[in-house]
Structure 1
Amino acid sequence: MHMFLADSEATEALGQALARTRPPFAVVHLQGDLGAGKSTLARALLRALGVSGAIRSPTYTLVERYPVEGGEAWHLDLYRIGDAGELEFLGLDEGAAVLWLVEWPERGGASLPPADLVVRLEVEGAGRSVRCEAGSRIGEQWLTRAAEEAQLQASVAQSG
């Protein structure tokens, strides 16, 4: 699935659509350069899942944990790690996470669970180009549900 996000509201709408169609357990790899919108998308998804209060960027803490239906959502930002072995000290093997949102996943290597969904964001003019790709059967089903919802939303907007 490839689309253009004209502004932060469009990025938030994508996060909301992903939240509404989220499977019970999923791993999302968020890829893109600095400023591409990874944290904005993660924040929108978490907010749509009912997280209230501050949603902090895990740039310095490496991981932020949030209660969501069914367990915890873990938002990781691995930009500052030097070696994937550093992840051992974060306690990520506890099993409480039902949703992993991982920024800079390439730095975590094999220490991370495989992605169900890979979201690649790129700055394009004043907006963002986003490409969502399934990494598993769960991811394929998730993308299908998200695309169907987007089509439904578009038809409702056109008829309104």
Structure 2
Amino acid sequence: MEAHCKQTFHRARPCRTLMSHQHKIDNVQLHDLPNFATALITNMPASLVIGLVGTLGAGKTTLVQSIAESLGIDASDVTSPTFTLLQSHQTKALRDDTNDDLPHVLHHLDAYRLADEDEFLELGVDELFEESGSWTLIEWADRVEAVMPPGALWIRIEIDDDNDARELILSTRSAKVAQGFLGL
């Protein structure tokens, strides 16, 4: 099989399997996600696209809520956007006009009910991907993998059935994003 990944937002061969940087965090309980979210925000660029992958109930929305709360957004305002598809929230950094190293806007999308990548692109996500100072978090991102930007951070959440803990598997092709793994 040819290893091929386009560097555009148009339909391309899925490339997640070709990630050159990976980091695993074992034995994460749901109540640990706020600490992980804070570490993620502290160590990742202010502009980032994050693809979240995992089974139903794995903790994708809970992780988004933890990230939102760490950015000064009321977690109760962050719900799974399965039916609305896209929610955008201003972060504390934007409201207070502080810290350009933090994202100013958090976009939260859910690809679960989308028919295909074309429907995803019709939402205007390619503009969100290029937006400076924002984090775009996409639940069920594996359903739109072919149009994800090459520098995206992928977070796969797997449940350990024995103790209900999670394993977080982070991967990216971006050296800049992978540099943030060191602080996690």
TM-score between both structures, scaled by the size of structure 2: 0.70
Check 1:129–1:78 CA distance in 2 against 1; reply closer, same or farther (3 A cut): same
| 1:87-141 residue CA offsets vs partner (Å, 9 max, x unmatched) | 2332324444621111111212333323432111111032111111233112211
2:44 is aligned with 1:22: yes
Cross-structure match for 1:150? none
**C-alpha distance in structure 2 between counterparts of 1:124 and 1:22, whole Å:** 26
Cross-structure match for 2:159? 123
2:68 is aligned with 1:54: no
Check 1:139–1:116 CA distance in 2 against 1; reply closer, same or farther (3 A cut): farther
Structure 1: gaps (5+ residues): 148-160
* Identity among equivalent pairs (%): 30
TM-score between both structures, scaled by the size of structure 1: 0.80
Cross-structure match for 1:74? 107
Within 5 Å, give how 1:10-159 maps onto structure 2: 10-52=32-74, 54-68=77-91, 69=93, 70-95=103-128, 96=131, 98-125=134-161, 126-144=164-182, 146-147=183-184
SS of 1:41's partner is helix
Range with greater deviation from structure 2 (48-57 or 105-114): 105-114
Cross-structure match for 2:10? none
SS of 1:64's partner is strand
